[in-house]
């Protein structure tokens, strides 16, 4: 099914329009210095953005003591750059080096570029999944109207990570395994969960090739030459992951330094249920309730999705919950696109479906306000 040009244009304008609205809201709340570029950068560059810039400017520090990777002891804590993966800052510093752009302009360039790729990728996969232009278009609007979808426009990894993730699914559908092999490299080096998402991607490949249907596996076909060749495309991910781990070992003495560094953000391996309501602040309470609602929704719609997409959702929920915290769960949910595929089906059944999307979109501005005023609710 071909992509309709008018839908592409509308989605691109929608994405740019969102960013304009963010700027207007930020200026309305905080005032303006008169320089719109600086005002926009102030709007989208917060929190983790500064860690990525620090890595881009200084690289990763050499560590001699484990505690320098990060720790948290009550009110005392230490954080380090090792908690963040390298692909995003490497892209930014490389762009700055060869174009002469400042770091802020490099961040902005890639933020806008990949947010556009992300919304178009959503539409493209929607065409594959729904085989209907109007529903595919609606699915892109639903995902990017999600109340916490503003992260796709920030100096964060969301848009870049999602682009490579959805692109990997699309590559598998069209059986472009050499493209998949390339996309898995940045996907793995962008965020710690990139390597884990190989599982739903591999299951999707098996489904696409008729080797997995519901819980029925063609075990004989699994070891056939054709499938082994296809499976080889997935090797780029563990290869670059282990290379990065050896780099960590050389610089810090720890093979999984990034995991140890999570302690600086009060994250440590825990039983998932311990993550809920374990702090008294409003953000933790809200995120706990929000996560429970998402889990319940994912459970009740599980039969509407294939195993591969269900796996993506539940793995993406389980990983952060095993860290003992629900902080940022609203952000993590934004890349769980299968949830939004089902939500699109439900909204599409409503008579005034675009009014429903508009209502969801308006709520996004309320949550974005928390980002503008630097409230912990937006972490």
Domain assignment of residue 78, yes or no: no
Report the length, in residues, of the chain.
379
CB 120 within 8 A of CB 8: yes
What is the C-alpha separation between 47 and 331, in angstroms, rounded?
13
- Sort 223 into a burial class: Cβ within 10 Å, 0-12 / 13-18 / 19+: exposed
pLDDT at residue 204 in the model: 97
Mapped onto helix, strand or coil, the DSSP state of residue 293 is: helix
CB 3 within 8 A of CB 136: no
Cα angle value 359/363/365 (rounded, 5°): 120
Residue 1 has pLDDT above 70, yes or no: no
Residue 242 has pLDDT above 90, yes or no: yes
Residue 13 has pLDDT above 80, yes or no: yes
Look over the chain and give the mean of its residue pLDDT values, rounded to a whole number. Answer: 93
Range scoring the smallest mean pLDDT among 78-92, 221-235, 264-278: 264-278
More confident residue, 327 or 248: 248
Residue 250 has pLDDT above 70, yes or no: yes
Domain assignment of residue 364, yes or no: yes
Mention every residue, 6+ apart, whose C-beta is less than 8 A from residue 331. Answer: 148, 151, 156, 158
pLDDT digits (tens, 9 = 90+) for 103-130: 999 999 999 999 999 999 999 999 999 9
Domain assignment of residue 91, yes or no: yes
Confidence label for 271 from pLDDT (cuts 50, 70 and 90) = confident
Range scoring the smallest mean pLDDT among 111-120, 198-207, 288-297, 319-328: 319-328
Task: Please give the model's pTM, rounded to 2 decimal places.
Answer: 0.95
Residue in 315, 276, 313, 286 with CA at minimum distance from that of residue 298: 313
Range of the domain at 351: 5-72+84-378
pLDDT digits (tens, 9 = 90+) for 22-50: 999 998 888 877 788 898 999 999 999 99
Per DSSP, helices labelled H in 255-334 are 257-261, 282-300, 307-321, 329-333
Q: How many CB atoms lie within 10 A of CB 249?
A: 13
pLDDT at residue 308 in the model: 97
Question: Average pLDDT, stretch 293-297?
Answer: 96
Domain assignment of residue 77, yes or no: no
Residue 3 has pLDDT above 90, yes or no: no
Mention every residue, 6+ apart, whose C-beta is less than 8 A from residue 156. Answer: 48, 49, 331
The number of folded domains in the chain is: 1
């Amino acid at each position: 099914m071909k992509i309709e040009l008018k839908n592409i244009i509308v989605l691109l304008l929608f994405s740019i329009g969102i960013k304009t609205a963010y700027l207007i809201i930020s200026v309305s709340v905080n005032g303006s210095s008169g320089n719109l570029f600086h005002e926009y950068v102030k709007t989208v560059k917060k929190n983790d953005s500064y860690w990525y810039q620090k890595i881009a400017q200084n690289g990763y520090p050499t560590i001699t003591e484990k505690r320098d990777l990060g720790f948290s002891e009550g009110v005392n804590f230490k954080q380090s750059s090792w908690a963040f993966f390298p692909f995003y800052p490497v892209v930014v510093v490389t762009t700055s080096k060869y174009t002469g752009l400042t770091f802020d302009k490099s961040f902005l360039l890639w933020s806008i570029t990949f947010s556009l790729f992300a919304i178009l990728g959503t539409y493209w996969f929607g065409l594959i999944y729904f085989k209907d232009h109007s529903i595919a278009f609606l699915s892109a609007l639903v995902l990017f109207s999600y109340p916490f979808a503003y992260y796709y426009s920030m100096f964060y990894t969301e848009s870049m990570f999602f682009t490579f993730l959805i692109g990997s699914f699309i590559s598998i559908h069209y059986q472009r395994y050499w493209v998949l092999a390339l996309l898995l490299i940045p996907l793995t080096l962008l965020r710690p969960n990139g390597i884990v998402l190989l599982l739903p991607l591999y299951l999707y490949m098996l489904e696409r090739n008729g080797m997995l249907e519901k819980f029925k596996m063609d075990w004989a076909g699994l070891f056939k030459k054709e499938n082994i060749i296809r499976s080889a495309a997935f090797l780029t991910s563990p290869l670059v992951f282990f290379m990065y781990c050896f780099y960590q070992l050389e610089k810090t003495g720890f093979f999984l330094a990034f995991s140890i560094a999570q302690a600086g953000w009060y994250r440590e391996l825990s039983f998932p249920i311990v993550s809920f309501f374990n702090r008294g602040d409003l953000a933790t309470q809200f995120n706990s309730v929000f996560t429970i609602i998402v889990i319940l929704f994912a459970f009740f719609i599980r039969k509407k999705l294939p195993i591969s997409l269900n796996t993506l959702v539940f793995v993406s929920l389980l990983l952060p919950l095993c860290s003992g915290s629900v902080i940022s769960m609203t952000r993590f949910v934004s890349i769980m696109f299968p949830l939004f595929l089902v939500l699109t089906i439900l909204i599409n059944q409503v008579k005034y479906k675009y009014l429903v999307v508009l209502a969801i979109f308006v709520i996004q501005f309320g949550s974005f306000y928390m980002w503008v005023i630097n409230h912990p609710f937006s972490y």
